[in-house]
Amino acid sequence: MRAFIFPGQGSQKIGMGAELAEASAAARDVFGEVDEALKQKLSVLMFGGPEEELTLTENAQPAIMANAIATQRVLARDFGLATNMTADCVAGHSLGEYTALCAVAAFDLATTARLLKLRGQAMQAAVPVGEGAMAALLGADIEKASALAAAAAQGEICEVANDNDPSQVVISGHKGAIERAIALVKDFEIKRGVLLPVSAPFHCSLMQPAADRMAEALAGTLIEAFALPLYANVTAAALTDPDAERALLVEQVTGRVRWRESVLAMRADGVESFVELGGKVVGPMVSRTDKEAQVTSLVTMQDIEAFAKEMT
């Protein structure tokens, strides 16, 4: 069995998608449709920057999605490898869950772009700049990270945001609490705490205002039947029910990204091969979670061509 997986925030970089756009009309169509949906030349920003503008959450989220869906459409249109014929399930890390939903036709491309633009704006606006922070805990498992977060909170918010793999957990919350957590890492036998260059404390309870905005937006958004099962971030389990997923997407804004558990669940359900579309971020997390898993990352046309050759 094979899973198509999709990266989250932090995988954006200047030049993303430019080679695909030059080589494939399928990719150009994706970037053009996203630009039209957002009434913004996002593709110009993706291809040429400036970096500080691309890194803004409201731009990075739809840009990462567009790049991954361009990869998916190149596979389908140029090489005949439609997602529902090539993969058995999908999953995405944080915003990547929206990309995964687009890939299985639950959302159309324009809807996905608009939802992610709104999601980025809502998450940025939820907490004043400078009040929140996130940190990656290196050499930490979920038990150590949870204990550290509880000790560092001291009346503030300090929560596990991403359980990425057995050696990396991300915490999120008030800036003071995150700084205390970094100072305490050695006491919890954690190798290192690294402050992340993010503009807001994602996936913690401080994001409730953003969750409320997304609940309102998603209530008025049609979610179609999934072409393939999706492993949801907050449950680490497969689902195909659009109404259940609507609620989970709201919960995801404040909830933990259970990526390590999602990988283990897919493996337990028979997935042997994981193919990351549009990045090289979540694939390595899969490898660190289960060394026996086969992991492929598709970023360039050369990557896509090599994968297509394997499939024929």
- List the CATH number of the domain containing 146: 3.30.70.250
Q: Which residues are designated catalytic? A: 94, 203
Which CATH number characterizes residue 30's domain? Answer: 3.40.366.10
Question: Are 164 and 253 in a shared domain?
Answer: no
pLDDT of 233 strictly over 90: yes
* Residue 129: per-residue pLDDT: 84
How many domains is the chain built from?
2
- Residue-wise pLDDT tens digits, 89-145: 999 999 999 999 999 999 999 999 999 999 999 999 999 988 999 999 999 999 999
Question: Are 120 and 245 in a shared domain?
Answer: yes
**What integer best gives the mean pLDDT of the chain?**
96
Question: Are 304 and 252 in a shared domain?
Answer: yes
Question: Are 29 and 82 in a shared domain?
Answer: yes
pLDDT above 70 coverage of the chain, percent: 100
Question: Are 227 and 300 in a shared domain?
Answer: yes
pLDDT of 286 strictly over 90: yes
Instruction: Work out whether strand 2-6 and strand 89-92 pair parallel, antiparallel, or are unpaired.
Output: parallel
Question: Are 233 and 89 in a shared domain?
Answer: yes
* Residue 261: per-residue pLDDT: 98
pLDDT of 24 strictly over 90: yes
d(CA 239, CA 259): 15
Which region among 145-149, 160-164, 195-199 has the lowest average model confidence (pLDDT)? 195-199
**What is the residue whose two structure tokens read 């804004």?**
253
pLDDT of 198 strictly over 90: no
* Residue 172: per-residue pLDDT: 97
Band the pLDDT of 199: cuts 50, 70, 90: confident
Which region among 10-14, 67-71, 172-176 has the lowest average model confidence (pLDDT)? 10-14
For residue 148, the enclosing domain spans 132-198
pLDDT above 90 coverage of the chain, percent: 94
The model scores a pTM over 0.75:
yes
pLDDT of 189 strictly over 90: yes
Neighbours of 220 (CB within 10 A): 6
Domain end position, chosen among 153, 178, 198? 198
Domain end position, chosen among 173, 198, 223? 198
Band the pLDDT of 275: cuts 50, 70, 90: very high
Domain end position, chosen among 175, 198, 221? 198
How large is the greatest C-alpha to C-alpha distance in the chain, in angstroms?
57
pLDDT of 312 strictly over 90: no
Question: Are 80 and 49 in a shared domain?
Answer: yes
Question: Are 118 and 250 in a shared domain?
Answer: yes
Question: Are 226 and 276 in a shared domain?
Answer: yes
Question: Are 14 and 114 in a shared domain?
Answer: yes
Band the pLDDT of 197: cuts 50, 70, 90: confident
Backbone phi, then psi, for 283, in 5-degree steps?
-55, -50
Question: Are 290 and 221 in a shared domain?
Answer: yes
Question: Are 116 and 227 in a shared domain?
Answer: yes
